[in-house]
Structure 1
Amino acid sequence: MLIIVQVQHEWTIHYREGYLREMMWMEGRGGHASQTYCPGCGVEGGFVYRCTSCVGATMLCKSCILFFHRHNPFHFIEVWNGTHFERTTLKSIGLVIQVGHPPGHACANPDPARRNDFVVVDTTGIHEVSLSFCQCDGMRPHYAQLLRYGLFPGTGMNPRTAATFRTLKLFQILSFESKGSHQEFYRAIVRLTGNVLSASSRDRYHEFIAMVSQWRHLKMLKRAGRGHDAGGIAGTTLGSCAIRCPSCPQPGINLPSNWASAPVELRRWIYRLFVSLDGNFKLRRRLVSSNEKDPGYNDGWAYFVEEKGFKEHLSSEWHLPQDKSTCVAHEAVDKPDREARGLAASGVAAAVCTRHEFRLPNGVGDLQHGERYINVDYIAFSAIRWFKVLELVISYDIGCQWLKKLFERLKKLPASLRPSSLKLLMVLIPKFHLPAHVEYCNRTFSFNLTKGVGRTDGEAPERGWSRMNAVAKSTAEMGPGTRRDTLDDHMADENWGKTKKCADSLLAKMERAVEGRRRVQQDHEEFVASIPAKFVSKWTEEVEGWEANPSGHPNPFEVQTKRVSEQAVRLRLAQEADAADAAEAAEDGVPDAGNTLGAMQPALFVSAGVQLEEDQYKLRMAASQLGNHPTKKQLTNLAERSNVLRRRIAVWSELQKLYMPEAEGIRLRKESASAAVDGKPSIEAYDIPLLLPSSLPTGSKCSSELISYEAQLREGQAYDALEELRRYLRTRAYLYKRKDKSSRGSHISVAANTRSNTAIKRAQQGVDAAAIKYTRAYKALIVLRGSEGSEEEDDEEQEEWRKDLRPLKAGDIRGLSEGLFGDSEGARKISWIWKYRSASVTSSSEEDIESDEQLQDALRVEFLKSRARANRWGEEVTLLEEEMRRTIEFFKYKAEWWTSRQGSTIGGSSLDYVEGFSAYALSQRTVYDTLRLECERRWEEGRARSWVKVVQKGGRKKKVTVEDDLEVGVDDM
């Protein structure tokens, strides 16, 4: 290995030296030192120039270097001074850029730029060039001549600065990907110009910012088709330049003609619009410049609201107070007027398409002093007015407070913003934010418990902010207009990126939804099978009534029974511990266990052995809890219990010789292997092998009658252990909830916390003991009744006990409402320990459940949550299928829209302009046709591959597609 490393090191040095040698070769004239003629024209001598931007860096004469750079005038060249190369410019050796004519062509009537002072910002650096305009007949304005040459002028009148199109495009793309600022990019260009005296280059930083802003604005208008619209740029309306979400419902574009007449009780919810609101206090702007000095170009045509109307509304309503929160202490509500010194905008609020994370038109606006309702109301309904839908679901992290007087505040909004077509407005709280709210909000504003919302989580703005925050540093020092235009451009890029990925994103969502629906539905069916049909029917009727009319029915997810007090729980645990100690003391006081066992029947013999095994476990736990420094009394008590247990085992072993003679030989071999030392037994009483039928070595013979007895005992033991396990889990869950609610804060005493922790520890010990007991019984059952059946074995062919009893894993030991680590409420599965059919906890008789109000309450709430999970996953599949259909229809609409707009009212009658406008429209049609075809191809492959599940119908397995499944009701999925 050392030799290999040494060889690799030597080869690395070899290559490094070779690379460096060739790089140094390029610092000289290379192979041209002995050359006597110019390779370009063949003329002898004078070839002292080379271009560092061209491939090969061939040395040429002056006339050749100028000729070859007619089409590349923004390269830097070097000249050989006899000892080394020096940087020079094409301008210094006579290159003149003539605009208004093809490159290389002279103009009969040139008009040199004023004082021959023209600067071009290019990706290669900042260039001072000699540039002439054309003054021939039919000449076009200077800005038009520059644009046709691929140069973007710094101003429309007498321009002296320009940037190449490729520079502006490169900066725009880099800013999207790296979130870099104008200054960082411009400094890099300056260093490319000269990395020694960079400051000597002509400063065009402010002109560069202006050109970037104009470039972004014009590209937005071009892509929005404003040049193809009959009204032209002057006819641009608010929000019309924003990139729309292809999957959201848009009447007249991607909804069927009869969508508004769909029955409310059936499937009108698939045409709902989902919108999320949120504030961001990182996208702030410092108190620099003003709207008068920097008004911006977009003026509400994209994602930001129109500034003038927004400010007028704020000034008219700013004096109104904001109500305090009646939920938890939301800073956005309780401290909306916190000072933002030195800031013109403390952040922004935005409305986002919840299910697809698209920024909505006119859905972004500035915040001044926190997240005030008047700001959020205006921004939210500015975005919503573009969607003439009947049902709207708004997600907002303080929605419980924002909703309270919303309809009163809507009356104060401008008439154009008030929703007129809405028949249902529903406000919910995002899933991640919901646990921070009070219990009432968790029941009332939950996506998980609301019908018709699928698996929507409401957290779309948070994911978008994580990307937009990267540009916060560069926009904080901008003027108001430049900042809005810059953020508009970044939001447009995000929307376009999501548009391009519709095929992949919706396919991935559908595959997850189909699998999630199958898994959760199966889990729900198993749980329902363990509950008497009477309660299932009753609870289903209650929740359906609440879903149809939440205000007219009590919330069925609310716990109705009064919980027992913590003191009662602690008392019960203490009594159980005392009872166990009393039983052990009674056993210790038996004078002659042998007389009891003398006439024992085989069934009682096995039962006594199983009991001895349990007593061994209790003694082992008592020994493990002694600690490092036990008292003499503790040691004495443990020794007495050990002696009593050892005598009982000895008596039982004598009886075992009659029923299991083969066990005697095994025991003798084990005892000889572990001889006593100094008269003391070498093995503890709790480690003495009992050699019950289930623990005999493989190949040992045993009476089938004894095996049957132990199997029956072990089965009962397993069921009893599960009963204990569930009881202790319910107790532990209550204690944790009680401690969280009552044992926090500085006013809580250490003693109260200690009592809570002690009670929880005792409950946990019960959980652990029950789990060990069950595992011991299950393993014995596997030995006694054969190995586990294969996974392919049908239920009808399995033994009855296998339907109920399974291997108990660590992840299975959790409460009725607890999921695995990382599981959300919608993806949570109920542990199998709460679902098995033969148990007495969930499949008890109706009378047993009726008599236990707390159990009935827990089962009802968990049943309703399980039903809600199944319904939400089913709804998600339905919503995604509809969104896929809408996406394809949207792309069809856009392709047809561009096809119908090949002409333009601003293009004139010139054939060149007509061709240009037509070519761009048809290229855009191709873009949307390509997106549509990709969606159709990918989704058809997905249907054939993943959207098929196998179901059991009439004893036969049948493949059912998503389309078939959608024909059934949501509750049937």
Structure 2
Amino acid sequence: MTKFPEEYWIDFSRVDWVYLVPKFHLPAHVARCQTAFSFNFTRFVGRTDGEAPERGWADINAVAGSTQEMGPGSRRDTLDDHFGDWNHRKIVAMAPTFLRKIKAAVPERADQVEIFEDLSDGLPPQSVAAFTVAVETWEKDKTQPNPFVSVAEVATERDVKLQLAREEGLELLSGDADILHHSLSPRQLRIAASGLNENSTSVPRTKVQLRDNAMRRKINAWAQDAIFTLRRNLRLQAHLFNVKTRFHRGQSENTRSSDTIARVRAHVAESATCYRIARLAIGRLSRELRQTGWQASFPILAETDVRQMAVGLDGESEGTRTLSWIWTGGGVGGDKDTADSAQEELRIEWCKARARAYRWSEEVFLLLEEMTRVQKYHSWHAAWWEDQAFARDGLTVEESEGFAAYAFRQSHIRTAMGAVCTAAWQDVEKYVSLGVQLPELAIETDDDDE
């Protein structure tokens, strides 16, 4: 460091070094590294992926066929020329590059913040408070327990089979195969749905409406139970997949695992069907009772919504993953989700949803700051070239004019690039202000974090 000018020296007493693994290389590491050294779970990095050097090396691969036949000097000059061209193209393309990034970051920030807030609103306040303390403590001190890692006791496949057998036995004993709910038959539902008409008197209408309101509450509870059962079965399915991948080898073990997974999948499909039938019944009763707004409480359950909490849609990465609405609705993490494994999964996914919301919010902040610095850089570079116009002594008049002409031309190019950036980004701040953002996102570091 002493070989550089003093203004480039780093005061190590005021800097905390954070070591992370680039995103493309991270999946090759063990599970512990994938959370402890992830850009996705680290504060103040935005959407940095750490793969910028790899992009430069990938671009230079095409030159290898030529440089391998060169001598050392020619090879170095050729590589320097190509690397210089790579850097120059990055500088010239800053206006469209940053504009493209901010256009992608603002709506993604809005989506991820909304998902995080919906998930937080659906969880008990005490759980959210506990999760917040855990993740903030870990972010400040990585020696503390990692909230992104599960430490709950893992259920065996034998336990899962026993649970399935108990549930299926209870269904057979209760004889509810042809009943929509424990006290509601299809015939009763049809009668109730058609019970009101325009010629009904006030007393019959009141009786029918009271009966239908009671039935509506039963169907509401049925739909909510179906979603809870769906979540539980999806968690069970995810656990079985993990056990099969990690521990089962050989045809016999894999066959037994596949049979168990098939049974759980059947339960998942059954729960989804129950919810859809209940939703249709709620819609019919709501029309008869002239009630509105029920769609917000009971959204449509599409096939893409029936997925595990840690699984996103096709094409989504960890940083852009979205949660299905079944995991953000009311009741998540309540009394029915008290098992250690369920609470741990909720904590992990809440922490990941929080990380996505914060990283995209930081990305917008960092992009705005980088845009400001790019404009200042172009202004500084233009002034620097003007200073070079007459900085050399001992030149002839012709040489001095040539140097000045070249320096002023370079200064004009930098000024023009700055003007292009200013014109391209003139509405960026207004565009950013329209997006949803976290109300209390502390981007600036405290004194302890510097």
TM-score by length of 2: 0.86
Q: Indicate the residue corresponding to 1:924 in structure 2.
A: 410
Matched-pair contact (CA < 8 Å) for 1:606–1:692:
no
In the alignment, which residue of structure 2 is the partner of 1:862?
349
CA distance in 2, matches of 1:550, 1:802: 44
2:432 corresponds to? 947
Unpaired runs of at least 5, structure 1: 1-237, 240-249, 253-386, 391-419, 589-604, 614-651, 657-689, 790-796, 952-961
Listed one character per residue, the Cα deviations across residues 342-372 of structure 1 (whole Å, up to 9, x for unaligned) are xxxxxxxxxxxxxxxxxxxxxxxxxxxxxxx
Deviations 1:406-438 (A, max 9, x none): xxxxxxxxxxxxxx6882222211223322321
Quickly say closer, same or farther: Cα 1:607–1:922, change in 2 above 3 A: closer
8 A Cα contact 1:878 1:966, kept in partner: no
Contact 2:390 2:400 in 1 (8 A): yes
Task: Report the 3-state secondary structure (helix = DSSP H, G, I; strand = E; otherwise coil) of the residue aligned with 2:434.
Answer: strand
User: Relative to total residues, which structure has the larger helix share, 1 or 2?
Assistant: 2
Shift of 1:692: 5.2
> Against the structure 1 CA distance between its residues 829 and 970, is the aligned structure 2 distance closer, same or farther, given a 3 Å change threshold?
farther
Deviations 1:72-126 (Å, cap 9, x if unpaired)? xxxxxxxxxxxxxxxxxxxxxxxxxxxxxxxxxxxxxxxxxxxxxxxxxxxxxxx
Which residue matches 1:508?
100
What is the match of residue 202 of structure 1? Answer: none
2:401 to 915, 918, 921: 915
2:386 paired residue number: 899
The amino acid across from 1:539 in the alignment is F
Deviation per CA, 1:122-143: give whole Å up to 9, x if none. xxxxxxxxxxxxxxxxxxxxxx
What residue is the counterpart of 2:302 in the other structure? 809
- Aligned to 1:441, which of 33, 38, 44? 33
What is the CA–CA distance in structure 2 between the aligned matches of 1:508 and 1:966, rounded to whole Å? 25
User: CA 1:738–1:558 in structure 2 vs 1: closer, same or farther (change >3 Å)?
Assistant: same
Quickly say closer, same or farther: Cα 1:885–1:772, change in 2 above 3 A. Answer: same
In the alignment, residue 717 of structure 1 is paired with which amino acid? Answer: W
Higher strand share: 1
| Letter matched to residue 949 of structure 1 | L
CA deviation string 1:586-619 (max 9, x = no partner):
989xxxxxxxxxxxxxxxx9968944x5xxxxxx
Q: Write the distance in 1 (CA, Å) between the matches of 2:308 and 2:38.
A: 21
Question: Aligned pairs, how many?
Answer: 434
Contact 2:112–2:322 under 8 Å retained in 1: yes
Task: Provide the rounded CA distance (Å) in 2 between the counterparts of 1:966 and 1:693.
Answer: 46
Aligned to 1:478: 70
| Larger RCO (CA within 8 A; separation ≥ 6) | 2
Q: CA deviation at 1:508?
A: 1.6
1:756 aligns with 2:242: no
Report what 2:157 is aligned to: 566
Please report how far the alpha carbon of residue 929 of structure 1 lies from its aligned counterpart in structure 2 after TM superposition: 0.8
* Offset of residue 863 of structure 1: 1.5
The one-character-per-residue Cα deviations of 1:640-690 (angstroms, maximum 9, x if unpaired) are: xxxxxxxxxxxx6xxx7xxxxxxxxxxxxxxxxxxxxxxxxxxxxxxxxx9
Pick from 25, 45, 63: which aligns with 1:453?
45
Change (3 A) 1:608 1:441: closer
Per-residue Cα deviation, 1:296-351 (whole angstroms, up to 9, x for no partner): xxxxxxxxxxxxxxxxxxxxxxxxxxxxxxxxxxxxxxxxxxxxxxxxxxxxxxxx
Query: After superposition, where does 1:564-713 map in structure 2 within 5 Å?
Result: 564-584=155-175, 610-611=184-185, 691=190, 693-694=192-193, 704=209, 707-713=212-218
CA change 1:879–1:606 in 2 (3 A) is closer
Q: Is the CA contact (8 Å cut-off) linking 2:46 and 2:363 kept in structure 1?
A: yes
On the 8 A contact 2:110/2:435 being kept in 1, the answer is: no
1:885 corresponds to: 372
> Who is 2:56 aligned against?
464
Q: Give the whole-Å Cα distance in 1 for the aligned partners of 2:252 and 2:134.
A: 43
Q: Deviations over 1:212-267 (max 9, x none)?
A: xxxxxxxxxxxxxxxxxxxxxxxxxx99xxxxxxxxxx997xxxxxxxxxxxxxxx
Contact 1:607 1:710 in 2 (8 A): no
> 2:156 & 2:16 partners in 1: Cα distance?
42
Give 1:708 deviation, angstroms: 3.3
1:874 aligns with 2:400: no
Gapped regions of structure 2 (runs ≥ 5): 445-450
Cα distance change on mapping 1:759 and 1:608 into 2, 3 Å: closer
- Please show how residues 231-242 of structure 1 align to structure 2 within 5 Å: none
Q: Measure the CA separation in 2 of the matches of 1:928 and 1:858.
A: 52
1:444 Cα shift? Answer: 0.7
Q: What percent identity do the matched residue pairs reach?
A: 35
Q: Distance in 1 between matches of 2:57 and 2:300?
A: 45
Distance 1:716 1:879, change over 3 A: same
Q: Is the 8 A contact 1:530 1:835 kept in 2?
A: yes
Query: What is the TM-score when the length of structure 1 is the normalising length?
Result: 0.41
Q: Write the letter of the residue equivalent to 1:821.
A: D
| Cα separation, partners in 2 of 1:930 and 1:572, compared to 1, 3 Å | same
- Please state if 1:741 is matched with 2:242: no
Q: Distance in 2 between matches of 1:763 and 1:432?
A: 34
- Greater radius of gyration (CA): 1
Pair 1:528 & 2:138 matched: no
8 Å CA contact retained: 2:181, 2:222: no
| Distance in 2, Cα, partners of 1:822 & 1:892 | 40
Tell me if the contact between 1:448 and 1:868 (Cα under 8 Å) persists in the aligned partners.
yes
